[in-house]
Amino acid sequence: MPRLKTSVAIKKLSAGDISAVIQMAWEDRTTFETIMERMGVSESEVIKIMRSELKPDSFKLWRKRMKGKATKHRALRSPEMKFSDHAIADHRRANC
């Protein structure tokens, strides 16, 4: 079975950037759209990063948490949500 090709966006990430992507991915309120805007990494690339960087059980736990989370996609969010995922992503940005 051929391996999936690593995208150019993932190859350009530093260790600090990968750490920041992982932090934002674990944060329930930070959307995949925000991760794309901040880091240039799509949802499928985030999944690839999480799969390669986390232990198998941790990855399974994360995927289980993310499945069906309305907060991880802006389009699925309720209009009553009063917080900005941009502010959350900014304060979680790695210092590197």
- CA-to-CA distance for 71 and 30, rounded, in angstroms? 7
Mean pLDDT check: name the lowest of 9-13, 14-18, 20-24, 29-33: 9-13
Residue 56 parent element (H or E):
helix 56-66
Report if residue 34 sits inside a domain.
Answer: yes
Number of domains in the chain: 1
Report if residue 1 sits inside a domain.
Answer: no
For the residues 1-17, what does the mean pLDDT come to? 70
* Residue 40, pLDDT score: 92
Q: Are 31 and 73 in contact (CB under 8 A)?
A: yes
- Which residue range is the domain that position 17 belongs to? 8-92
Q: Are 28 and 71 in contact (CB under 8 A)?
A: yes
For the chain, give the percent of residues with pLDDT over 70.
60
Report if residue 2 sits inside a domain.
Answer: no
Of residues 88, 7, 12, 89, the one with CA closest to residue 44 = 7
Tell me the two tokens of residue 48.
């690839």
